[in-house]
Structure 1
């Protein structure tokens, strides 16, 4: 049986006008069991913006361009937008790529949404860039659903390519294979829970294009290994998982412990490349978390999905034994 692999897909686009479309691409990449990457994750440093972009494209397996009705911010030296420079760089280095471009018939709808969704400063440059993009491998979209379909179909083709190794080759880490299999099996987990939730009309409404059940599965899919400091702590995580109705503890239960232990504090960002790419990166691109620099100049994480009035947390309190989990954390911290 062929080994499963997780491809890192770099998502390139203008930002403010295509947030819904970017989230659709992120959702499709995660659904396919792969890793999205994009400018949301970049933090200020000594490198120039283009140096950082090129490094991330180099480290990714596939480059995806979402082309809308904006040209984007222009890089002062070249006179080209960062989006176009990213696209040209991916082509130049021979990076496997695909593009989805807005249909011309759909641009009229975006005009009605206001100036933020149309190009006013560089329409000629946008026209020339569109010519370049449509002269190569491209699909067209009218709304975010078209993007989801295109991404799912195309990334499936890329995943069958033997020359694309993916993030953390199987011959270097056994855990990466286990994690990939767990993500692929997400839709098969918690069968009984899915049946119950599907009977509740309120769960049909989606946030970030995921139901509560899908969000819960996403967070629970990230299994944490060797994170327990001692047997007591591991037993606590197991007990929290059992209080939630889960057989094994995961990142969700670990984060729950951290937030309950420090309810008014943000969590320090782990200095671990694997955690940042496999766990932190997808959650940030889905807008479930934010990574920021504190006043003490320390990178920290703000977990929006566990904020007091977030719908995910409210439903978690309603359908999981949260009171027992809270009491377990209090008892542990008072020992």
Structure 2
């Protein structure tokens, strides 16, 4: 797996590529490409340029046609970009073909999100979840690596007789994946125990959910006065925080913040973060925070509901909170 955050420190530039299939999908593709730019900026990498392409039939070699592939490469070269970032997913073979054509690093949205999560993970639990997702993403892409996994993996076992370096690396990664899944199984057991302890309290529970950077942590801080991280960044919060709230009626409430969602959130991340996201599944109700000022607020609502559907929590009782209403009033005056 290519990690743009672990390369030598130097000025880097990214060239973004978005694709769409039908003319009516162009606006959505533009929005996704803009969001991709924000994701890349979160990694502190300047965006040198972008290109939106219509692709009616994906090519197995480059996803786009050979002519468009050459155009993308030339544009990136002219702008002195050293990484090409696709908004759509690329297969391992397509990534290898792109890197052979361009001599540049070529990644997709999923890898960008994984790198952001790797940077944001602060607790042991979050790091375990991110590591699992990254290992599962890396496994079919090991031919892109430089054969150094055996040195990183330390005491996972020796190289078998007649075993190639690639086979060794794959075996080591599978062993790490199994170990991470086992560790996360213990995390889920511990969380279940903690929830049982909270259930002994005569307090209802609520989970704050929503798109990334809509103000979920800010709401938790406002309601509880707790010192939780509040930043104007995508995926600023990966770790859950549960706090007790005293409502104006005098009723107590246990309130939990959760990781934010994003369009085209990799399924493997949803799976990896199930130990954390289960807080939404088992809560008595959800508080769904929306950025009322965003022009695509309904799409963000749908994205959150789709992820909740994957978790089996989309039919839970919910309260919708419209955040950033002051921005709407400012625009109206």
Q: TM-score, normalised by structure 2?
A: 0.29
Q: By percentage of residues, which structure has more strand?
A: 2
Higher relative contact order (CA 8 A, sep 6+): 1
